[in-house]
Amino acid sequence: MRKNGSESNKLCWRVVISIDGNELHNKEYTTLKIAGDELGLTYSQICDLKPNGRNKKKHTAFKFYPKIDITRIEYENQPIN
């Protein structure tokens, strides 16, 4: 997570939400906190939904659970921390 007061506008996260192939949300964010705020989720909840989130498989057992893909946007010649 970035330091408080950071003014970076670099888009780092892409959040795509779909149900049965129907895309409901597709947007890029600078931080996961901003993405969570817009989607009505806490920072902890959105971190759990990342590909390596600790409870990723626990919540997806529900039959009509939406497919939520959170991916890190990588730019050429730019190191990812």
Measure the CA–CA gap between 33 and 13, rounded to whole angstroms: 10
Q: pLDDT per residue over 16-35, tens digit each?
A: 999 888 999 999 999 889 99
- pLDDT(15) > 70: yes
- pLDDT(78) > 60: no
Burial zone of 4 (CB within 10 Å; 0-12 exposed, 13-18 middle, 19+ buried): exposed
Q: pLDDT per residue over 31-74, tens digit each?
A: 889 999 999 999 988 888 877 766 555 555 666 777 888 888 87
Predicted TM-score (pTM) above 0.75? no
Using an 8 Å Cβ cutoff, are 70 and 50 in contact?
A: yes
Using an 8 Å Cβ cutoff, are 64 and 43 in contact?
A: no
